[in-house]
Structure 1
Amino acid sequence: MVKKPAGVLMFLLVILMVLGTAELQSDCRCSSSTCDCQSRGLTSVPQDLPTNTTELLLQSNQTTTLSQSNFSRYGSLEILELGSNRISTINDQTFYHLSNLSSLNLAFNRLPILTPGTFTGLGNLETLNLRRNDITDIPAGTFNPTPQLRTLELRNNRLAFLRDDMFTGLGNLQEVSLYFNEITDIQAGTFTPTPQVRTLKLENNKLIALRSDMFTGLRNLQQLWLEDNDIGDIQPGTLIQLHN
C-alpha cells in the first residue's frame, strides 16, 4: 500500500475544514448548480456559495437591502428567487453582473419605487415578478435594460396612473399583470412600446372609463381582463382596434 505524504493529508484536512465552515456560515444546501437558502433568517446574500451556481433560492428571509456586491461573484445565475423578504431598497446596478439571468422573483417585498438603474445588466431577463410590493411609480427607462422580458408581474401594488413612458424598452413583452392596483387612468400611448403583448390583466382597479387611445399599439392582444373596475363609459372604437 502506498502511503500518502503527511503534507498531502494535512492539505486535504484543511480543505475539508474550510468547506465545512462555509456550509455552517451560509446554512444553505447546494446540490449540483442549485443552492437552497430559503427560510434561513438571512439578512444578506451569502458569499460562500459555489460561483457556478445557476439557481439561487433566497425566499422567506429577512433581507432589506440589495447592492452590487451581493451578486458580483455569481455571474452564472439563471434563476434568482428573492420573494418574501423585507426588501425596500435595490441600489442601482445591483444585478450588473447577472447577464445570464432569465428569471427574477421579487414578489412579496416592500419596494416603493423602481429606478432606471434597478435592472441594469439584465439583458437576458425573460420573467420578472414584482407582485405585492408597494410600488407607486415606474420612472421612464426603468425597463430599458431588459429588452428580452416576456412576462411582467405587477399585480397587488399601488400604481394609480399608467404613463406613456413606463413600459419603454419592452418590445418583446407578451404578458403583463396589473390587477389589484389603484389605476384610475391610462395615458394615450402607454402600450405603444409593447406591440407583442398578448395578455393584459387590468381587473380590480379603479378605471371609470375607457378611451379609444388607451390600448393603442396592442395589435397582437388576445386577452384583456377588465372585470371589477368602475367602468361607466366606453368610447366608440375603443375595442375595435383590438383585432384579436
Structure 2
Amino acid sequence: MKTLIVEGGRLLCLVLWLNLVPVMNGCPAKCVCYSEPRPTVACQQQGLFSIPTEIPIRSQRIFLQSNKLTVIRSTSFSSVHNLTVLWMYSNNISHIEAGAFYGLERLEELDIGDNSNLRIISPTAFRGRLLCLVLWLNLVPVMNGCPAKCVCYSEPRPTVACQQQGLFSIPTEIPIRSQRIFLQSNKLTVIRSTSFSSVHNLTVLWMYSNNISHIEAGAFYGLERLEELDIGDNSNLRIISPTAFRGLTKLHTLHLHRCGLSELPMGVFRGLFSLQYLYLQDNNLLALHEDTFLDLANLTYLFLHNNKIKVVTDHMLRGLISLDRLLLHQNRIIHVQQRAFNDLGKLTTLFLFFNNLTMLTGEAMNPLVSLQYLRLNGNQWICDCRARPLWDWFKRFKGSSSELECHLPNSLTGKDLKRLKSDDLEGCVDSPSQVQTSIFNTKARSGKFLSLDDPLVESIPRCCLSDNDKSSIISSKSLPDPSSYNSRQITNNPLKEKENISKTKFRELERTKNETRNKQSLNDGPLGTMSNNLDQTMDKINPDLLDNLEPSTAPTRKKKKCSKKPKSDQYCLKAHASTVQVLAVLFLPLFLVSLALS
C-alpha cells in the first residue's frame, strides 16, 4: 500500500502545474479534472461520503483516497470504460456491491487498502487479472536490505520509498534491483557520484522539494534506463554541470522547476533524444543559449513561464520540431526575432501573456501553421503601422486567441488589435521611452550603443523610418530648405516630427537674437552677441589679418533666406553676403571707433 500513498502525494504536485491545462467538461464538485498526461479526476481528501455521480466518461484515472466513503455501488463506475487506475484507499469502505467493477476491462491498478471495516469481499468482486494484483499488493514481502526509514516493496515494480523522512543524505544501502526511488520532501543537500551507481535498473527518481545545492559530476552516470527525473523545487540548485544528464538517452520527463537557475550551460540537454516533457518554469533564467534544445526533437511540452527572459532569439528554440505546447508567459520578453519559431510547425499552444512586448511581426508567426491556442494579453501593444503585419496574420489565423489590448496611441487604448480597421493602423506613434520604437534613443538598456545588428534595432519597422533612414540610418543628404518650416508641420513620421520641433526652436532663437541686435547698435553684425565693452586685447588686432581668415571646420549651417515679412536692408545684406565681406564692412568701423575712444 505504501507505493500508492507515495504516488498519491505526487499527484497533488502534478495537479498544481496542470492547472494551466483546460479542465474536462462535467467535472464533479470538489474535484479537479485535467486532460494531461491522461484524463484524470482527482477528488482526494475532500471529505466525500459517497462516490461522485458525474464522472466524465473518458476518465482514465480516478483518485478518491483519504475520504469518508462507505460503499462502492454497482453503478459507481459503470460508465468509465477507459479507466486504468482507481485509488480508494484510506476510506471507511465496508461493502462492495456485486458488479461494482464490471465492465472495467482496461483497469490495471486498483487500491482499496486501508479500509479497516472491509472485512468481507465477494468472490466475484475482482473477476479477471486484478484478483492477483490485489492479493499481491497485500501479501508481497518487502525487498531485502531496505534502508532505514524507508519502505521497500516489489510490486508493481521494485520500489524504495523514503519520502518525508527528514533525511540529510541519500541512503547508501539501496537494493540494486530497485526501479523506482522516492526521496522527495527531505533535507538532502547533495547528489554524489556514487549515490545511484549500483541501481542500473532505475526508471523513476523523485527528489523534488529538498535542499539540494550541488550535483556531482557523474551523479546519474550509468542510469541508461531512467525515464523520469524530478529534482524540481530545490531553490538552492542554481548551477548545473553541462554533463549532468549525459547518457540519459531514455529519459522522457525532466523536472527542473523552482530551482533558482539563472542560466543553463551550453549542451546541458545534449543527447536527451527521448525527452518529451521539460519543466523549467519558476526560475531566474535571463536568456538561453542558441541551440539549447537542438537534440530534443521529440520534446512536446516546454514550460519556461515565470522566468526573466528578455529576447526570444532566432535559434533559441531550434530543433523543437515536435513541440506541441510552449509556455513563455510571465517573463520580461521585449522582442521575438523573426525566425524564432521557424521549427515549431507542430506547435498547438503558445502562451506569451504578461510580458513586455509592444510588437510582434507576422513573419515570426507564419511558421506556426498548427497553432490552435494563443494568448498575448497583458502586453503593451503599439497599434500603429508596425502592428499591421500581426493584424494581417490574425486575418488568416483560425485558432483561438486572447485579446490584444492597445497601449498606444491614446485614441486606441484598450481596444483589441484584432478588431481594428485597416485605417486605424496608419502612421507611427512616437514612443521615445521604448528603445525598440525610437531611433533617437541611441543607448540600449544595457548601456551599450545599439548597432544595426542589435535585435532591438531590427524591430524598428520601415514604416517608422524617414525616407532617408529607409536606405541608410545615417544619411548624407542635406536638410530641406528651412523656408519650408514656416510653421511646425504635422507628419506621420516621428523623425520628421522631431526635426520640425528642432527647427522651430532654432527660429525662435534667431528671432531673439534679431531683437537684441535692434536694441544694441554695436551688436548689429557677426559679433553681435559680444558685449559693447570690447576686451582690450581686441584693440591690437591687425586689420590685414581679416583678409586671411581660414574657413571654419565646423559644418556650415544653411543660411536663412529673407522671409516674406519685410526686413531691413542690413538684415538682407547680412543674410546674403559672404562671411568675409561682412567682417570687412562692419568690423573695421568698429575697430576705428575703438581707437578714437582710446
| Pairwise TM-score range, normalised by the shorter structure | 0.7 to 0.9
For structure 2, the 5+ residue unaligned runs are 1-143, 371-598
Contact in 1 for aligned 2:182/2:206 (Cα 8 Å): yes
Matched residue, 1:131: 257
TM-score normalized with structure 1 length: 0.87
Q: Of residues 353, 363, 369 in structure 2, which corresponds to 1:243?
A: 369
Q: Match of 2:353, as an amino acid?
A: E
Q: Match of 1:88, as an amino acid?
A: S
In the TM superposition, what are the counterparts of 1:139-154 in structure 2 within 5 Å? 139-154=265-280
- Looking at structure 2, the residues matched to 51 and 95 of structure 1 have their Cα atoms a distance apart, in angstroms, of 15
Matched residue, 1:29: 151
Contact in 1 for aligned 2:233/2:256 (Cα 8 Å): yes
Contact in 2 for aligned 1:62/1:85 (Cα 8 Å): yes
Contact in 2 for aligned 1:141/1:169 (Cα 8 Å): no
Bigger Rg over Cα: 2
Q: Match of 2:152, as an amino acid?
A: C
Shift of 1:168: 2.5
Structure 1 stretches of 4+ with a deviation exceeding 3 A read none
In the TM superposition, what are the counterparts of 1:135-174 in structure 2 within 5 Å? 135-174=261-300
Q: Match of 1:190, as an amino acid?
A: M
1:177 maps onto 2:303 in alignment: yes
Matched residue, 1:15: none
1:117 maps onto 2:239 in alignment: no
- Looking at structure 2, the residues matched to 215 and 48 of structure 1 have their Cα atoms a distance apart, in angstroms, of 48
In the TM superposition, what are the counterparts of 1:55-70 in structure 2 within 5 Å? 55-70=180-195
Shift of 1:219: 1.4
Greater RCO, 1 or 2 (C-alpha within 8 Å, sep 6+) = 1
Shift of 1:158: 0.6
SS in 2 for 1:92: coil
In the TM superposition, what are the counterparts of 1:1-244 in structure 2 within 5 Å? 23=146, 26-32=148-154, 33-109=158-234, 110-244=236-370
- Root-mean-square deviation (CA, aligned residues, Å) is 1.4
How many residues in Structure 1 have an aligned counterpart in Structure 2?
Answer: 223
Contact in 1 for aligned 2:291/2:318 (Cα 8 Å): no
Q: Match of 1:142, as an amino acid?
A: V
Contact in 1 for aligned 2:304/2:327 (Cα 8 Å): yes
Q: Match of 2:207, as an amino acid?
A: L
For structure 1, the 5+ residue unaligned runs are 1-18
Determine which structure has the larger strand proportion and give its number: 1
Shift of 1:52: 1.0
TM-score normalized with structure 2 length: 0.36
> How many percent of aligned residue pairs carry the same amino acid?
31
Q: Match of 1:154, as an amino acid?
A: L
Contact in 2 for aligned 1:75/1:98 (Cα 8 Å): yes
Shift of 1:145: 3.1
Q: Deviations over 1:71-115 (max 9, x none)?
A: 011111100000001111111211012111100001100211222
Q: Deviations over 1:5-31 (max 9, x none)?
A: xxxxxxxxxxxxxx6xx55x5210011
